[in-house]
Amino acid sequence: MLQYKELESDKYKDLNEARDLIINAMAETMDLYGLTTSTGRLYATMFFLGEPMTLDQMAGALGMSKTSMSNTARTLLEKKVVDKVWQKGVRKDLYQAEEDFFKTFAEFFCHGWRREMEVNLKAINKAEPIIKELSESDDEEVKKVANSDLEKLDNAKRYYLWLERLVESVESGEIYKYIPKPKRKE
């Protein structure tokens, strides 16, 4: 594990142990975001380091292959929780963790919620005309089931419209008017 400022002095032992507790907890809960434990461990390690890392440094810090770190870094880039950064005099790619959890939350969940809306609304828009036609069937049983399905689709569409407003409020920051971010300790 990458240690605080890479110092192995005894005075950093307790700090390193405390950080490891948090790193392990963050890694364990990354499944909520669709990430593996090792991906979460890399993010948490980068978060505490607080400065850009190369793939070689990542591999050394986690005891994993450079290829594995490349794939993991790509995943974190796609999820927008790390950024590629440039540093004068450094020729290798550098990656730095996003430290704003509010921003990370918005990126992760809004992306997932948008995908949920798009996939399901597309399916609803394709299925609804078929079901509407069946709701006018001469067969009373088919008509009854089709009308029931139309009600369910209406409820689903109302949910997705609400979800779209939620996403927009998170992305715009409007949500913080209703649920303010806690103030920083001075």
The H-or-E segment that residue 114 falls in is helix 101-134
Q: Which fold has domain 4-97?
A: Arc Repressor Mutant, subunit A (1.10.10)
Per-residue burial over 80-101, b = 16 or more CB atoms within 10 Å of its CB, e = otherwise = ebbeeeeeeeeeeebbbbbeee
The H-or-E segment that residue 97 falls in is strand 94-97
Give residue limits of the domains in the chain: 4-97, 101-178
Inter-residue contact 153 to 124 (CB < 8 Å): yes
The predicted model scores a pTM of 0.74
- Render each residue's pLDDT in the chain as its tens digit; 186 residues: 444 444 566 777 888 888 889 999 999 998 887 889 999 999 999 998 888 999 999 998 888 999 999 999 999 999 888 999 988 888 899 999 999 989 988 988 898 899 999 999 999 999 999 999 999 999 999 999 999 999 999 999 999 999 999 999 999 999 999 999 998 887
